[in-house]
Structure 1
Amino acid sequence: MATVVELKQALKEALEKRGVLGQIRANIRAEVFHALDDQSEPRPPLSRENLLINELVREYLEYNKYKYTASVLTAVLRIVGKFLFQKLASLKCPWIDSFLSKS
């Protein structure tokens, strides 16, 4: 019969193999950040530029398969869903307009 230590090790290995352990760790980190976030002091509204930068960082993380880091970033920044191209095109920002005209 397996010992408790052996069962723990087998469970850890199975979760790591399936990629679940990293996801659980990322979820715990996100929840810790959320719990520590001081809701009594509201954050300043994000500028359009910062919103775009945050989304670019999130997309970079996802593109490079840093999905756990991206999930923590998403939770911390409260970014929901993908940034729509139509929203990007509607922003009145010279450097965004310049970038979009080159594509």
Structure 2
Amino acid sequence: GGVDSKRIKFFTYNSLEKTTEKYIPEGDKLENTHYAFLHNSNDEDNDFKLEEILAYNINKYGFNTPNKCLKAQKDLNDIVASKSFGVNKVTFDVTIKK
């Protein structure tokens, strides 16, 4: 992903289905917010709902600044790390500035 002359955009790649998706946010409403999870979607041991947790965190912190989004993501990562052996709480901040 990256930033073109007008807005940020990102792409995802599904290694199982060999497909890509393109995401370009439009407007400043929550329903226009796009996200992707790096996880094994075939993992049946996943006993928590990533989208519900992220939506809760976004409503808790907001989403109109990079710092608010990072707080929501870090909280999600901490929850996943507490329940999944292969995930730790080490995170790095990368903010794309225009």
- TM-score, length-normalised on structure 2? 0.26
Larger fraction in helix: 1
Structure with the greater alpha carbon radius of gyration = 1
- TM-score, length-normalised on structure 1? 0.25
